Chains A and B, each alone.
Chain A
Amino acid sequence: MLYFSKLKLVFIYSLIIILSFFSFSNFIKNDDTFLFSKKVNLGLDLQGGSYLLLEVDAGPAIKEKLQNKVISLRKVFKNKNIKFKKLKLENNLIQIKLLNSDTKLFYDFFHDKDNLINPYLNKYRSYEMDYSISEIGSESLITIKYSKFGLIEIKSSILEDSLEIVRKRVDEVGTKEPTILRRGNDRILIELPGLDDPNRIKNLLGKTANMSFKLVSDGENIFGSEMLTYDNSDDQLNVSKRVLVSGENLINAQPRLDNQTNEAIVSFTFDRIGAKKFAKATSSNVGKRLAIVLDNKVISAPVIQEPILGGNGQITGDFTFQSATDLALLLRSGALPAPLNIIEERTVGPDLGEDSIKAGAISLLIGFILVIFYMFFKYRLFGIIADLSLIVNLILLIGILTLIEATLTLPGIAGIILTVGMAVDANVLIFERIREEMKIEKVNIYAFDTGYKKAQSAILDANITTLISAVILFFLGSGPVKGFAVTLGIGILTTLFCAYFFARHLTSSYVMRNKEKNITL
């Protein structure tokens, strides 16, 4: 155990040198040259920032899709001349009553792989919809709902679309290096480092931003209209349900300051279809009020002074420049296919992050010094070897964290400090074993050799158990706790390396050189 081949030594020390290089590159500031570009990432809890977990509420979108299917079914039945007694949507189930003789027609149509109402999903080898038929006398009741894979498909397409729009909105706010990730079937994870106040982003993401232009109805047509509240007050307005032009047709929106009134406004541009529709609507309704509705709230309802033919317009309202900017941003990014709910939020201010780094560094330093002195006190010369091994261990640990660009969190720092405390264990196990061996074996080299050999199985078993904990924690823990699992796990690997290669080499060199002398441990 005390002999090292030259090749092995070259390997060990070059590994240490390479990793020390990565380790120290963290402390070289403002040098982004290729050599020093790798740095440990600081977690949100250390650099400050916001973590948001959003859940897509697919319910309304699914209901809308089912409603569309009812309309399409009605058309199909009409074309195929199938008489139905009942066709409606109840609790997200489409219910149809047919004569028993017509169910065959329905079946044939519904299982046609090219039909548009119940498409076949090749990916899942399943139809989009499931149905069941129960016969009651001469009639059959057919119940249709989304199949398991149909739901997965629709949810994931809603999620993909939502991701796109969330990305646009977050990017436009211009925070540095946001992370936006898909989580499972209906969730979006957003990390916004350095963001002190997530309120603006939360507000932007909380809005679906469905915009439409509708006429204000003056009490003449009660059926086709509804009462909507204003966005900025509790006043209500009677607005027609018919959409003249919708936000889908917008291609640009920008905040402006009105030249005359000096008020903040939002100017917008329609695409060709939108411009045409808008021109038509404004030409035939001069003198009436046009309501601009966002997510069922009235933004403003100006009187149409003259036909607007160019496809450009502006929205006035009680805007501050900030709110006009945000509205323009929402209109530019487009409407979300489904509402988003924030189901988890964690925000840490930058000053707390700084305090945490300081506290972490101080406790690491103090823990380190205490352990180093204790080891020296216990083992003297070999204590120094254990201490050197501990220092190298720490450098390697930070080096690997840098190399894999791991995220360092506050619990992660705790993991490093804990590693300092537990890392000496391997050397303690070895030294204690050697002490025992030296009592029966008078030749130092043999005592050291057997000591190392016999301590091996205990060291391996002891470290693997801790490694198991770390691995489980890594896969099941979330956020900052994951950072703890990473440092703890890598700490175990570097500890084993240091004890078995670095410290063993130092020990063996010392013992070889002092073969004849009396070594005390």
Chain B
Amino acid sequence: MNKPMKDIKFSNFYKKFNFLSLILIIFSILILLFKGLNLGVDFKGGTLIELRTENSSTNIAEIRQSFLKMNLGDVTVKKFGKENDYLIKIELIKNDDENFIKSIQENLSKDLGSTVNFRRVENVGPKVSNELMKAGLLAITLSLAAMLFYIWIRFEWQFSLGAIIALVHDVIITIGIFSFLSYEINLSIVAAILTIVGYSMNDTVVIYDRIRENLKKYSKISTIEISDLSINQTLSRTLITSITTLLALFSIFLFGGAILKGFSFAMIVGVIIGTYSSIFVATPVLNYMGVTQKTILKEEDKIENN
């Protein structure tokens, strides 16, 4: 047998890590149910303003005070990126007044006694935010379904089930972490989740591909040993690719500016969880489903008989 460089008995840790995953998932669902998500204007509607004050002595309390005076309902003000940059979120939706943004700018400049520069304004009405929400959920569901289907075509259904369990695991925990940290969910986070789905799948497929190959090759070894062997054989690749992807992502996270922070954070979390899940979730599922050499050969027989 072609021995891999490392020989780690991953299967010894399946129980422990499956338990950990289960706890993480339950914790994520509970926190989603009780705390909910911090939805951005894309999905909740409202107005987002990124502003820069010219007067560097302005403090955040003065800005809050000024908004309080304007009577706009719930307004959150926080620092964003560099000094003097702030991010304002207004939940109130005013679609009928074209001068809404302008009047806020005038009031702010007056109250702060210096020019306030609006660097970015996003104003989303309830109808549009509703549609964006639906499109986002549809995109995530569709991509999961597409993966399920693709793996089912390329492998057996047991593989497809294992892969999809791992993906759902990744998505739930990533969203759970966002809920726990109260990080904002916006359009780019949905893009990140879809990419995570693709990445995690990518990792799983490489291991599955090797398991299939080894199952065909060795008839005397148990499936558990085959999966350990396959993970070990691909381990070096798994780690190198995760590291290069994380290098790129950390570079975006640290230097890519404030707007890409949430996106790159979600991706970093997702890549780590996705790598973990392809080893400790997707692979054990094959064992639990009782996949053996027969599972694969049966399918090939069918093709030959046809």
Contacts and interface: CB of A to CB of B under 8 A. Distances in A.
A466 B214 CA distance: 25
Interface string A409-445: 0110110011011101100110010001001100000
A421 B249 contact: yes
Contacts of A417: 248-249, 251-252, 256
Interface stretch (B17-25, B176-184, B257-265): B257-265
B237 A432 contact: yes
A17 interface: no
A168 B164 CA distance: 52
Interface in A323-372: 341-349, 351-352, 355-356, 359-360, 362-364, 366-367, 370-371
Interface string A450-466: 00001001100111111
A367 B247 contact: yes
Interface residues of B, number: 72
Interface residues of A, number: 74
B143 A345 contact: no
A418 B249 contact: yes
Contact of A374 (B136, B203, B244): B244
A244 interface: no
Interface string A44-80: 0100000001010000000000000000000000000
A472 interface: yes
A220 to B, nearest CB: 35
Given A202-B98, A344-B124, A473 B202 contact: no
Contacts of B252: 363, 367, 414, 417-418
A347 B98 contact: no
Best-surrounded residue of A341, A411, A458 (most CB of chain B within 10 A): A458
B147 A458 contact: no
A388 to B, nearest CB: 16
A95 to B, nearest CB: 31
A484 interface: yes
A432 B199 contact: no
A199 B243 CA distance: 47
Nearest to B260: A414
A485 interface: yes
A236 to B, nearest CB: 21
Nearest to A463: B202
Nearest to A456: B209
A378 B240 contact: yes
Given A429-B237, A436-B233, A462-B206, A342 B95 contact: yes
A458 B187 contact: no
Interface of B: 2, 4, 50, 95-96, 98-99, 101-102, 117-125, 127-128, 132, 135-136, 138-139, 142-143, 146-147, 150, 154, 187-188, 190-191, 194-195, 197-199, 201-203, 205-206, 209-210, 213, 233-234, 236-237, 240-241, 243-249, 251-252, 254-257, 259-260, 263-264, 267
- Give 10 closest A-B pairs by Cβ, nearest first: A421-B248, A469-B198, A359-B257, A367-B251, A466-B198, A343-B125, A421-B245, A465-B201, A476-B139, A367-B248
26 contacts: A205-B98, A341-B96, A342-B98, A343-B125, A343-B128, A344-B123, A345-B101, A345-B122, A347-B122, A355-B257, A364-B251, A370-B248, A374-B240, A374-B244, A411-B188, A414-B256, A414-B260, A424-B244, A428-B241, A432-B240, A469-B195, A473-B139, A473-B191, A477-B139, A477-B190, A479-B187
